[in-house]
Structure 1
Amino acid sequence: MYFLLNILGLIVVTAVVYLFSPYKKKVKWRPILSLIVLELLITWFMLGTKIGSWVINQIGSFFTWLVECASEGISFAFPSAMANPTVDFFFSALLPIIFVVTFFDILSYFGILPWIIDKIGWVISKASRLPKLESFFSIQMMFLGNTEALAVIRQQLSAVNDRRLLTFGLMSMSSISGSIIGSYLAMVPATYVFTAIPLNCLNALIIANILNPVDVTKEEDIVYVPPKEEKKDFFSTISNSMLVGMNMVIVILAMVIGYVALTAALNGILGLFIQGLTIQSIFSYIFSPFAVLLGLTGHDAMYVAQLMGIKLATNEFIAMSDLKTQLDSLPPHTIAVATTFLTSFANFSTVGMIYGTYNSVLSGEKSAIIGKNVWKLFVSGIAVSLLSAAMVGLFVW
C-alpha cells in the first residue's frame, strides 16, 4: 500500500506542477519520460546493485578524505577545539568548506572538472533531447553550486531571451555544491546524499520544462566556453578560492544563527496566542499530505513534514542537524526520503542569492524576470525535492 502511495506521489507532484504551468500545450513529454526512465535506472543502480553501493562508498571515502585533509588545517589553527571528541557544527561541518572549495577550483583550473561536466552534460542532452546549455548547467550546478554555475555561463546568459533566463533561475533552486557535500556527510547518510545529487539535476530539467517549456533553435543551442585570457595564475586562483570558501562559511554561519534565532522568536510570539504553537507544528500540517505521498504514516509523516518546513523556511543545515539526532529511531524508508528531500538549496534565502547573481552579472532589467516569478522558483524547488525523495523511496523500505 505504502509503495503505491509512493508511486502516486510521483504522479501527483508532476500533475500539480503541470497545473501551475502557464504553457501546458507546449510541454514536451517525450524528453521528460526519457529523463524519468534514466532516473529510475540511476536510482536502481545506486541503491539496488552491489556495484552502485561500491561506487557510493568510493565517493563517500573520497569526500571523507577531503574532510580529513581539511581537518589538518583546522587543527593547526584551532588545536584545542579539534582535540575535543565532540567537535561542534562550526568546526566539523563549516570550516572544511574552505579546503573543499579550493580543491574543486584546482580541478577546474587544470580542466578536469570542466571535462567531466562536458561529457556528462553531453550524455544528458542526447538522452533527453533537451538544449545543451540547460543540460550542461544542471551538471555544473552539481559540482559548482547555483551562483557559481550562473557566473560561469554569464556571457551566454546575456544573450538568451527572458524565457530561458527564467529556466536557469528555476533550475538553480534545486542545486547543491560539491564544496558543501562534506558538511552534509557529517550529519546524514552518504548513500542518500549521493543518490539525491544526480536525481536533483535531472528533476530540475523535468520541472523547468513543465513550468517553462522553451523552444531553442540549433543556432541558439550552444555552450559558452570561456577564453584562455580569463584564466588567472595558479596561486592567485587557489588564494581566491580560499577567500571564497571563508566567505561561504561566514554566510552560512550567519544564516544558521539568524534563522534559528528568528524561528525561536516567532515561536515565542505564536506561543502568546496559542500555547505550544510553533512554526514547526504549522509546517507539519501544511506539508503532511506530501509526506504521506512519500509512503510515510503517523509520527514519521508529521516529523518529515516538519523537516520540510524547517528546510524551506530556514535552510537544510538546520533540518539535517535535527534529523541527525533522530537517525537511530527512524526506519530506513523515512531516513531515505527525508535525507533526499533535504539535499538541495531550495529555501527563501536561495531566491535572494539567485536574484542577486542575476543582478550582478546581467542588467537590472533582465534580472527582473526572477523578481516577477518568485512563486515559480519555490514551486520548482519544492517539486524537485519531492520527486527525488519519492524516487529514492521506491527502492528503500
Structure 2
Amino acid sequence: MNSEHTSVEMKDQGEINHGYIPTETNAKEQNHDLKKSNGDGNKFQIEPMDNEEEENYTGCPGVAYKIQTGVAIAVGKHGSRIKQAVKLLFLVLYFVYFGYAMYYEFGDEGSIRLLVCTIIGVVLLLIHIFNRLCGSKIKLFDSGEKSFATERRHRKMKRYTGRFLMVAVFLGLAAYIIYDVLIDYPQNAVSIAGLALYIIIFYIFSKNPAKVKWRPVFWGFALQYIFALVILRTEWGYQAFQWLGDRVTEFLNYSNAGAVFVFGDVLVNTYGVFAFRVLPVVVFFYTVTSVLYYLGVMQVIVKKMGMFLSFCLGTSPAESLNAAGNIFVGMTEAPLMIQPFLENMTKSELHAVMTGGFATIAGSVLGAYVNFGVPANHLITASVMSAPAALAISKLAYPETERTKSEDMDRMGKSKDRNVIEAISSGAGNSVKVVAAIAVNVMAFLCVLEFVNMTLDWFGDRVGVDGLSFQLICSYVFYPIAFFMGTDVPDCRKVAELVGIKTFTNEFLAYKELSILIANRKNFTQYTAVWNASSDWFYQGDDIILQHVNQTLKKGIISDKSEVIATYALCGFSNFGSMGIFLGGMSALVPSRRGDLSQIVLRAMIAGNVACFLTGCIAGLLYKDYGT
C-alpha cells in the first residue's frame, strides 16, 4: 500500500514537473532516436538527463542544453545537405581562385601545372558524380533471361571479337616496330629476341602449359608496350613524364625541411650523409601516402586503374587491384587493400599478387632512388609498365586452373585513422619500421658483400686469379640477360653485375652502384667538353683517369641507353631477401594460406624478376636518343 502510494506521488510529480518519467527505457529510446535521426551515434549525440541533472540545468545551462539539442536534431536531419552545401561552397571558391589565377598569369610552368591538376580533378569529380547518380541503373547489357542459343551466340561473338582485336593490335604494333624502330635503330631488335626468349622459357616451365590463357598474357605485354610507346617514343609523352618526374623530385625535396631541423644543415646538405639525406624522404612519402589513403584518394586511383587492368586482361578484380596498388605502395602494403579477398583467392591469384609485389617498388623508396641521382621519370615509367607485365608473366608461369569467385571492388580496405592528424602520425610511425629495415639491410648486405668479396679474393689468390669477386662472377653469369635486354655490348658486364647485386642482395645496393655510373658519365661529359684529346684521359682497368682535374671515375661509365635499361630492369623488389619479408607480411594477413604462399613464393620471385627484365627489354626496344 505504501509502495503504491509512493509510486503514484512520483508519477504525479513527474507529470507536473517534466511531463514524463525519466526511466532507463525512455533514455534508451531517446538516444536511439537521436542516432537514427543523424545516422551516426558518435556525432551530435545528446545524452538524456535524469531528474537531478535536469533540475540543475536552469537559466543559461538550460538554454545551452536546448540549443545543443536543437542543433543536434537539425544536423541529424539535414546533415547531408549541409555537407553538400559546404563542399559546393569550397568548390565555387576554388574555381573563383582558378579563374583569377589563369587571368593573372598564364603560360608559365606554374599555371600549366595548376591547369593540368584542375582538369584531372574535374574529370575525377565528374566520374564520381556519374557513379553516384547512376549507381546500378546503367547497364551495358541486358541482364534478363536469355535462351541457350542466344547466350552461345554472344559467347562466340565475344570470343571472335577478342581474337580480332588481338590480331589487329599485334599487327599494328609489329608494323610500328618495323617502321619506326628497326629502320632507324636496327640494333634494338636484340630486345625482341629477349622478349620472345622469356615467353618461350616461361611457357615451357609453366606450372600447367596446357592451361595457359593467352588473353592476359597478350594484353599484359601489349599494355606494357603501349605505355612505353607513349612515354619513350613520343616527344610529348617523354616531356610529360619528364615534367612529372621533376615535380616528384621537387615534392620529395620538401623532406629536407624536417631533416635539416632534426639533423642540421651540415649533415643533410653539405655532406649528404645517407641516413640523414635519403631516409627522411621515406618518412615524408610514407606520411603523405597515409594521408591520401585516409582521404580516399589512393583508393579511387587504385580502383580505377584496377578496373582498367581487369577489363583489358580479363584478370579477377582482386589481383588487378593489387597490381594497380603496387604502382604506388610496397609489396606488403598493397595486399592490405584487398585483404577481404585473400582468404578465398585461388593459387594463381595469390601468385599474381606476389609477382606484382616483387615486380615493382614502393613510392617511398622511389624517393630514395631519386636522391641517388636516378631519373625520376624513368622510375615512374618502370612502375607503371611493370603492373601489366607482372600480371602477364604471372598468368604464363602459373595459369588459372580453378574457378575464381566474383568480387566487389568496393570492398577495398579503408583507413582506420579518424582524422588527418592521426593519419599523419600513423604514417610517420609506420615508416619507422621501413626506415629501420632499409638502414639495417643496407649495412648488413654491405658487410656480407665485403666479406664474400674478401673470401673470394683470397681463394683467387691461391690459384693465381686476381680480383675475383661476387660482382665479377655476376657480370659473367647474368651477361646473357643484360645482352638480350638490348644493353650496349661494352656495357653488358656492368649491367649484368647490377642485376646480380639486385637479385642476391637488394635493389637498394644496385641503384646505389648505378648512381655511381650515372654520376661518372655526367662528370666525364663535362670534362670532355673542355679536354677531349687522347692524352687528356685514359682507362686504367675499368676506371677512367681524368688527368687535368686529377680525378678517377671508379668503374668507368656506361652509355645512356644502358643506364635507361638498367633503371627499368632494377625497378623491383624481386630478390631473395624480399622473399622472407613478403612471405611474413602475407602470412600475417591470411594465416590460413601460409602453406600455399610458401609453395609459390620462389616461383613468384623469379617471375617478378623476369617482369623487370621484360620492362628492360621494352625500354631497350623503344629507346630513342632525344631528350636524354
Give TM-score, length-normalised by structure 1.
0.94
Distance 1:133 1:50, change over 3 A: same
Matching residue within 288, 304, 316 for 1:131: 316
1:385 aligned residue: 612
1:65 aligned residue: 250
Structure 2 residue matching 1:210: 3-state secondary structure: helix
Q: Which has the higher contact order (CA 8 A, sep 6+)?
A: 1
Q: What per-residue deviation string (whole Å, max 9, x for no partner) do you get for residues 212-270 of structure 1?
A: 11157574343362577945333222211101112211110100010010010011112
Matching residue within 444, 459, 469 for 1:278: 469
Letter in 2 for 1:57: Q
Letter in 2 for 1:393: G
2:561 aligned residue: 333
1:78 paired with 2:269, answer no
| Distance (Å, rounded) in 2 between the aligned partners of 1:296 and 1:231 | 47
| Distance (Å, rounded) in 2 between the aligned partners of 1:174 and 1:227 | 22
1:250 paired with 2:447, answer no
Higher radius of gyration, 1 or 2: 2
Q: What per-residue deviation string (whole Å, max 9, x for no partner) do you get for residues 262-293 of structure 1?
A: 01001111222113221111111111011111
Structure 2 residue matching 1:373: 3-state secondary structure: helix
2:146 aligned residue: none
1:352 aligned residue: 580
CA contact (8 A) 2:306 2:317 kept: yes
1:375 paired with 2:602, answer yes
Q: What per-residue deviation string (whole Å, max 9, x for no partner) do you get for residues 344-379 of structure 1?
A: 11111211111101221122x511223223430232
CA contact (8 A) 1:176 1:345 kept: yes
Structure 2 residue matching 1:144: 3-state secondary structure: coil
Letter in 1 for 2:431: G
Structure 2 residue matching 1:186: 3-state secondary structure: helix
Show the 5 A alignment for 1:1-397. 2-82=187-267, 84-187=269-372, 188-214=374-400, 219-223=405-409, 225-226=411-412, 230-275=416-461, 276-327=467-518, 328=521, 329-363=557-591, 365-397=592-624
| Distance (Å, rounded) in 1 between the aligned partners of 2:324 and 2:498 | 27
Distance 1:135 1:226, change over 3 A: closer
What value does the CA root-mean-square deviation take over the aligned residues? 2.0
| Distance (Å, rounded) in 1 between the aligned partners of 2:390 and 2:405 | 24
Large movers: runs of 4+ above 4 Å = 215-219, 226-231
Structure 2 residue matching 1:124: 3-state secondary structure: helix
| Distance (Å, rounded) in 1 between the aligned partners of 2:387 and 2:414 | 28
| Distance (Å, rounded) in 2 between the aligned partners of 1:158 and 1:325 | 44
CA contact (8 A) 1:125 1:132 kept: yes
| Distance (Å, rounded) in 2 between the aligned partners of 1:316 and 1:220 | 36
Letter in 2 for 1:303: K
| Distance (Å, rounded) in 2 between the aligned partners of 1:161 and 1:69 | 43
| Distance (Å, rounded) in 2 between the aligned partners of 1:16 and 1:177 | 28
CA contact (8 A) 1:117 1:139 kept: yes
Q: Which stretches in structure 2 are left out of the alignment for 5+ residues?
A: 1-185, 462-466, 522-556
Q: Which stretches in structure 1 are left out of the alignment for 5+ residues?
A: none
Q: Following TM superposition, by how much is the alpha carbon of 1:66 offset from its aligned partner in structure 2, in angstroms?
A: 2.4
Distance 1:263 1:45, change over 3 A: same
Q: Following TM superposition, by how much is the alpha carbon of 1:23 offset from its aligned partner in structure 2, in angstroms?
A: 1.0
The structure where helix makes up a greater share of residues is: 1
Structure 1 residue matching 2:409: 3-state secondary structure: coil
Distance 1:226 1:131, change over 3 A: closer
CA contact (8 A) 1:155 1:224 kept: no
Letter in 1 for 2:558: L
Q: Mean Cα displacement is larger for which, 214-223 or 168-177?
A: 214-223
| Distance (Å, rounded) in 2 between the aligned partners of 1:379 and 1:271 | 29
Give TM-score, length-normalised by structure 2.
0.60
